[in-house]
Chains A and B, each alone.
Chain A
């Protein structure tokens, strides 16, 4: 296993102050704090070359876990091992084998072209100049950003900056990529380019990727396996398709009608999501789908009929909100 989290916990102590003047004075005299359990007993492991989605609502503990795995945050309890190292020791070999890309933080020098920042990266990671040149060319071509290498970073769009952040983060060819919201705030085209890039990079270099994103399209396009956190705890670790299919117990049936029908005609056909003169949308339990479809065809003037599962985004969104997954699957 190239990444292992074993019972990781992180507790932060934060100030606990009520609003108002009296509370402010009380807090000044006697400071009160409370413990926030950001991550609770999280265990999972990644094999070399895997691309895994890391899901959870805001505050679920994803970023804190990523920071523990990259050595920025020391676990309160538990153990992490990444490429054979304890992350918080931050040994050179470890730091040279990983990268963390944060969509809301930048490492490029703001006022200079990215090429200047790449020079610092090359020196810090002890890379050969010719190798760096070759990798910059290769990565910038993959991201379609070759014409932006000499433009000051502050003059670039958000998407262009993120692409160059990715180039900088991958110059040293890390074995493990921790990507924290790499498509945050980007337009659809830029999101698609970055998704394709991550997929190609993984295929070419066999790098392991742990990806967090609030855009479900990132997750569905790139990962087969997801790890889901809810309120700091792990609630699911397994395939994305199993998660969705095990959770979704209904199907949507969309019916085109030849003539309008009365509400009474729909009794026993499932929940009615929409009732129009020419169209009906019904929600039917998956287990009752076959007999219900037979009844619909027998009782209603059907012109056309389609059966669909709810969109993955809606399903995952519901799971993240409630922390509810029908079963926990170990990968």
Chain B
């Protein structure tokens, strides 16, 4: 009961906070249009070459990539870094609740506030490219949403673990910059895993990247989901969680010695 009441309070307040920035939300929703750029390139390539996906399948794939990215976007490393540098973490440490409540509350509320803009952009996409229209089954929809939730949790915990570096350096977000290289090329944002060479794909599937984008996307497009699609991100989640908790404990001692 306490948990639900607390969750409700955080979500309602941060939803109100996000609505203050509604115009920025539209810009952020538009700014994440890299999948549409990739889509254009791959549809053109599929018209002329031999690829495992047809042009219209590339269109659907990158549309769903856009959707999954809208659902799983995370920025906690920048926010945490700012809170450390500005000393905003101290008041939160004085409250009897883990500061992560504020970050999770902000992320979840932002998702709800962003949803209308995402729907408009998707509707606009189908107006421009009606051949790509498709209606997923409810099982595909549930699988995609569940895997997107797992992807978001994994992404959040990983980035929150990176954020702990802010206790030692003022530029913890540079770690995220390095991570983005792997994310960009191995997650499926730039190219579907289906077009990777078999050997490369097998290796990449042991990293966390494909489970952040490619796997949830394929779930909505009807691809079968295997146990591995849950176990490998689950294992990475466990590793990230342990790393985050250890770094948090060491970081607090460090923060204390910096003067909090």
- B-contacting residues of A (Cβ < 8 Å)? 12-13, 38, 64, 67, 70-74, 88, 90, 92, 95-96, 98-100, 102, 105-107, 109, 111-112, 116-117, 119-126, 152
Contact = CB atoms under 8 A, between A and B. Distances in A.
Contacts of A96: 96
A125 B259 contact: no
B93 to A, nearest CB: 6
Nearest to A13: B257
Nearest to B90: A72
Interface of A is mostly: mixed
Given A98-B94, A105-B88, 10 more contacts: A72-B256, A74-B257, A88-B256, A90-B93, A99-B94, A102-B90, A112-B16, A120-B13, A123-B6, A124-B6
Contacts of B21: 111
A112 B14 CA distance: 9
Contacts of B253: 74
B17 to A, nearest CB: 6
B257 A119 contact: no
B94 A105 contact: no
B13 A119 contact: yes
Interface of B is mostly: helix
A119 B9 CA distance: 6
Interface of B: 2, 5-6, 8-10, 12-13, 16-17, 20-21, 87-88, 90-97, 101, 253, 256-260
Nearest to A126: B2
Contact of A123 (B10, B88, B94): B10
Contacts of A112: 13, 16-17, 20
16 contacts: A12-B257, A12-B258, A70-B94, A71-B94, A72-B94, A74-B257, A95-B94, A98-B94, A106-B91, A107-B92, A111-B17, A116-B16, A122-B9, A123-B8, A124-B95, A126-B2
B38 to A, nearest CB: 35
Q: Which of B90, B91, B257 has the most CB of A within 10 A?
A: B91
Contacts of A38: 259
Q: Which of B5, B87, B96, B253 has the most CB of A within 10 A?
A: B96
Contact of B10 (A67, A90, A102, A120): A120
